[in-house]
């Protein structure tokens, strides 16, 4: 914790997402390089992008943690020492590991680097926390299968300087601590090496060997066939209980998510944490506002995971695997001119003259306005911005910081 206030740790699957997380209130971000991390399908960071991201974050007082959390095989140790030394030279604040072999190499070649233990390591009891602390780990990401009561007990049995980090929001894996074998079995894409294809979100059926082509639905009672499909975690209503349990870092899942998602979820938890620390009653009064904003971005329904007890059947989404959302990413702000009250933006989704879009600021309600006086880069009037990443300008009702996001309502919630 920072002076008693929990750290807000946001995901960054790209340099753009990192800058977005910083703008919208993260105290720290976690990223991955092109190797050794468990999100191979994220855009991830080249060495140049990683250095730019670390420098950008540090100039704004934000920490950067780098995932090195694959479950390593022998071949993965070639070049590992050099990679860790490079991260240290870049100024990374911490590395996140899950494998004991990688931890041992890190202690040998970058002894001064802060080491965090990934949730993949399944630390589920106070003795495991104590053991990893003795191995030089400074922070442990609690296994997702722990209840708040268990976390409180672990906190009471561990050294004060050992930070406990825990997920507060995002997608949940049906497998214990994310160690899934289905992806490897079905698609030869190893989830434990970061290449999961998410077979838990697929629709399943049974086919009898002598009746090829005849499929029989596999159902959880009458509910449906997506029986591995977990709801997303959302602990926005339980910040007091998480603080009281001794969690020092609130982690948001989502290195595969869009900048809009990163912005919205970071913003909401930033406002919620600040409100609770300043005035618990004001926090409680704002819970409907927080929940309303979180409902706008993509999710699969929300649950409390294991925190309040073992999940039941209601924690799964059986009838479909699609995300629900009501807002899409329309544009990112590149510049604001206070004299003309115009913003230069980069398009991320088509929007048109006369259409309503909303400005998502780091604090407060989104600000809706009608698109007026839309112009291209040459200053010529245009009816719409249909081209991906085209640069356009428009009049806006308030000052917008660079990097701020414009969003628009989607026609369908699916």
What DSSP element (H or E) covers 167? strand 163-170
- What SS3 string covers 253-321? CCCCCCHHHHHHHHHHHHHHHHHHHHCHHHHHHHHHHHHHHHCCCCECCEECCCCCCCCCHHHECCCCC
pLDDT at 300: 77
Q: What pLDDT digit, counting tens, does each position of 146-193 carry? A: 999 999 999 999 999 999 999 999 976 666 655 666 666 566 665 555
pLDDT band at 204 (very low <50, low <70, confident <90, very high): low
Structural domains of the chain in order of their starting residue, each with its CATH number: 7-175+231-307 (3.20.20.70), 327-409 (2.40.30.10)
The CB-side HSE value for 40 (13 A sphere, CA atoms) comes to: 13
pLDDT at 414: 43
pLDDT at 123: 95
Q: Are strands 351-352 and 384-385 parallel, antiparallel or unpaired?
A: antiparallel
Structure tokens at 248: 């020092």
Residue 256 has pLDDT above 80, yes or no: yes
pLDDT at 261: 95
Q: What is the mean pLDDT of residues 85-93?
A: 97
Residue with tokens 């009458």, as numbered in its chain: 222
Residue with tokens 């753009």, as numbered in its chain: 16
> Would you call 11 helix, strand, or coil by DSSP?
strand
Cβ-Cβ contacts under 8 Å for 59 (sequence gap 6 or more)? none
pLDDT band at 413 (very low <50, low <70, confident <90, very high): very low
pLDDT at 217: 63
pLDDT at 179: 61
Q: What pLDDT digit, counting tens, does each position of 305-328 carry? A: 889 987 665 555 545 555 577 999
Q: What is the mean pLDDT of residues 386-397?
A: 96
pLDDT at 322: 57
The CA distances from residue 198 to 99, 171, 181, 195, in Å, are 22, 11, 10, 9
Min mean pLDDT across 65-69, 206-210, 230-234, 347-351 is at: 206-210
Structure tokens at 228: 């591995």
User: What is the per-residue burial (b if ≥16 Cβ within 10 Å, else e) of 271-300?
Assistant: bbbbbbeeeeeebeebeeebeebbbbbbbb
Q: Is residue 252 within 8 Å of residue 9, measured between CB atoms?
A: yes
Q: Is residue 248 within 8 Å of residue 4, measured between CB atoms?
A: no
Q: What is the mean pLDDT of residues 134-151?
A: 96
Min mean pLDDT across 82-86, 209-213, 330-334 is at: 209-213
> What is the residue-averaged pLDDT of the chain?
88
Q: What is the mean pLDDT of residues 196-213?
A: 67
Residue 277 has pLDDT above 90, yes or no: yes
Q: What CA–CA distance (Å, rounded) separates 53 from 208? A: 53
Q: How many CB atoms lie within 10 A of CB 241?
A: 16
pLDDT at 4: 80
What DSSP element (H or E) covers 21? helix 15-23
Residue 210 has pLDDT above 70, yes or no: yes
67, burial (CB in 10 Å: exposed 0-12, middle 13-18, buried 19+): buried
Residue 337 has pLDDT above 70, yes or no: yes
Q: What CA–CA distance (Å, rounded) separates 94 from 58? A: 13
Q: Which of 2-6, 124-128, 224-228 has the highest mean pLDDT?
A: 124-128
pTM: 0.86
Q: Is residue 294 within 8 Å of residue 225, measured between CB atoms?
A: no
Structure tokens at 55: 């420098």
Residue 23 has pLDDT above 60, yes or no: yes
User: What is the per-residue burial (b if ≥16 Cβ within 10 Å, else e) of 138-148?
Assistant: ebbbbbbebbb
Structure tokens at 159: 């050294």
Residue with tokens 């926390």, as numbered in its chain: 129
């Amino acid at each position: 914790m920072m002076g008693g206030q929990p750290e807000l740790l946001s995901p960054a699957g790209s340099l753009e997402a990192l800058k977005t997380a910083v703008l919208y209130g993260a105290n720290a971000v976690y990223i991955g390089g092109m190797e050794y991390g468990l999100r191979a399908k994220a855009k991830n960071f080249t060495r140049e992008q990683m250095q730019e991201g670390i420098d950008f974050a540090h100039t704004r007082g934000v920490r950067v943690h780098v995932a090195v959390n694959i479950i390593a095989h022998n071949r993965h140790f070639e070049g590992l020492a050099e990679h860790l030394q490079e991260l240290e030279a870049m100024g990374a604040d911490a590395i996140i590991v899950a494998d004991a072999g990688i931890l041992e190499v890190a202690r040998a070649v970058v002894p001064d680097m802060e080491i965090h233990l990934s949730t993949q390591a399944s630390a589920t009891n106070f003795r495991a926390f104590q053991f990893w602390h003795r191995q030089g780990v400074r922070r442990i990401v609690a296994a997702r299968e722990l209840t708040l009561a268990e976390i409180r007990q672990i906190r009471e049995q561990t050294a004060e300087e050992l930070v406990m980090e825990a997920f507060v929001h995002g997608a949940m894996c049906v497998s214990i601590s994310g160690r899934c074998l289905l992806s490897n079995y079905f698609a030869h894409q190893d989830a434990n090496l970061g290449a999961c294809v998410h077979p838990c979100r697929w629709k399943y059926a049974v086919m009898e060997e002598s009746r090829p082509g005849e499929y029989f639905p596999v159902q959880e009672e009458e509910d449906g066939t997506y029986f591995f499909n977990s709801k997303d975690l959302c602990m926005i209503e339980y910040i007091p209980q998480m603080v009281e349990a001794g969690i020092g870092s609130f982690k948001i899942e989502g290195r595969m998510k869009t900048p809009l998602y990163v912005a919205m979820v970071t913003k909401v938890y930033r406002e919620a944490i600040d409100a609770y620390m300043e005035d618990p009653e004001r926090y409680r009064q704002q819970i409907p506002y927080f929940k309303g904003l979180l409902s706008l971005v993509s999710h699969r329904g929300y649950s409390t995971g294991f925190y309040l007890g073992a999940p039941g059947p209601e924690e799964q989404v059986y009838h479909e695997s699609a995300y629900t959302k009501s807002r899409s990413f329309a544009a990112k702000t590149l510049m604001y001119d206070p004299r003309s009250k115009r913003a230069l933006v980069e398009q991320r989704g088509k929007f048109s003259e006369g259409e309503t879009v909303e400005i998502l600021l780091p604090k407060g309600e989104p600000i809706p306005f009608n698109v007026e006086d839309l112009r291209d880069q040459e200053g010529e009037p245009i009816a719409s911005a249909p081209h991906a990443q085209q640069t356009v300008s428009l009049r806006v009702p308030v000052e917008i910081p660079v990097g701020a996001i414009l969003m628009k309502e989607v026609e369908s919630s699916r």
